[in-house]
Structure formats: C-alpha cells, structure tokens
Amino acid sequence: MAAVWVFDFDDILFPLSGVLYSRIRKNWRVFSRWFNDIGEVKFEELQKRNMFRINEWLIKDEYKSLTPGQYADLQLKVIEKYRSLGFSGDFYSEGEPTDFARKTIMSDMFLENPNVKDVYILSRNVTEDQSISKMKFIASYMNHPKIHYINVNKDERKIDSLIENNIKFDVFIDDEIPNIREIAEKLPSLEGKEFMVPEYGYNKIPNDLRLLIEGKKGKITTYDPFKK
C-alpha cells in the first residue's frame, strides 16, 4: 500500500537554525547584550547544541541566576526582538534546501515511487513574513502534485492539525520531540506508523516515549541528516 509521508520543514528540509543564527550575527549590536559571542558557527555544529531554542542556548550566564519570573520576562523581551529581526522579510531566500530534502522530497526517485502516495509539509510559523517566505520557497523548490503544504499556527499543536486535515500518515519526520509525543499520546494505535528523528544534540529520544510508541505497535528511528 502506498504510504503518506509528513515532513516538518524547519531544520528538516531547510537549515532554519543556520539562517537564524546568521540573522543574529548581522544584528549583533542588538543581541550582544543578551547572548554569548561564540563566533561564526556552521549549521552542522549548531545542531549539536543541547537546547532546542537558540535564544536559551546562547543566553549569557549572568542571566541564568535570575528568578524564574525575571528570566521569563527577559526571554519575552529577547523573543520579541528575535521574531522581529530574525523572521522578518524573505527569510527563506537566505538559505538552500538541506541535503536530506534533496535526497527525499526533491528527488524524482522518491516522489515518483508508486509506494509514495502523498507528501505533506506540516510546519509552524511565528510571523506572517515567515509563512509567506516559506510558501514561496516551497513553491520554488518543492513544487509537485504529491506535495501539500499545511501551515501550523504558532499556538497550534501538530496533532490537532493532523486530525483537522484528516491526515492518516505512515511516516512522520520531525526534530521536535514534543510534537511526536503529542501524536503518540493522542492516537489510540500507531500500528504501521513510523516516526523519524534527525540526530541532533537537543532531541534525544526519551526511553518512555520509545516504549509508548512501541507499545502502540509503532516505530521510532533516528537518521543522520549530514550523512553524505
């Protein structure tokens, strides 16, 4: 039976962290008050970080001693700048598809395979500019009748989007463990379903999640996104 594939976009098909970090460096006058200066870093090195959110990973040690309330207020201020400067304009024109994208969703060998029925790109956006730029990028690089793009609002859960759009997937690829956990917890059965996770520093698969998925007859695997 032909399979339905669901891809996350950011840091799966596009090196979002790399472009975002480049934006931070270009606006260093603004961010230097909050972030440690670690210099120029390649995308592959960035993905070895141990925290998902770059704004929390880069925060200076002096701010880590704040009370939880003070720290939350500080991060809200940082995130406001982060979004206005980091995700403004034609963000995605500043990067290229990942090697993983070229080997899968951009490959005729993958798309024309009769065992691939439909491909959904299910992706969250935090600004309107980001959403518009992302759609433009997808139209340029990933334009195929089998490929369907679905925007996920910044406060929306991916499991809710799957249900709302009646997507019965066979393979789900995402770098965010919470997205996978919400799906695994919500669906009564995962028989025949596989979750694929890129091997980054911030998304180790918890053992309890693996047991949950396998207990519902699903499968969770990792892959090396930088393998040549």
All structural domains of the chain, each given as residue ranges with its CATH number in brackets, are: 3-15+94-223 (3.40.50.1000), 16-92 (no CATH)
Question: Distance between CA 172 and CA 21 in Å, rounded?
Answer: 26
Query: Please, are residues 157 and 183 in contact by the beta-carbon 8 Å criterion?
Result: no
pLDDT of residue 154: 85
Look at phi and psi of residue 156 and say left if phi exceeds 0, alpha if psi is from -120 to 50, else beta: beta
Give the tokens for residue 226. 């930088």
Per-residue pLDDT of the chain (228 residues; tens, 9 = 90+): 789 999 999 999 999 999 999 999 999 999 999 999 999 999 999 999 999 999 999 999 999 899 999 999 999 999 888 888 888 889 999 999 999 999 999 999 999 999 999 999 999 998 888 999 999 999 999 999 999 999 998 889 999 999 999 999 999 999 999 999 999 999 999 999 999 999 999 999 999 999 999 999 999 999 999 987
* Strand order, beta sheet including 3-7: 147-152, 116-124, 3-7, 171-173, 194-198, 219-223
pLDDT of residue 84: 87
pLDDT of residue 2: 87
Amino acid at 109: M
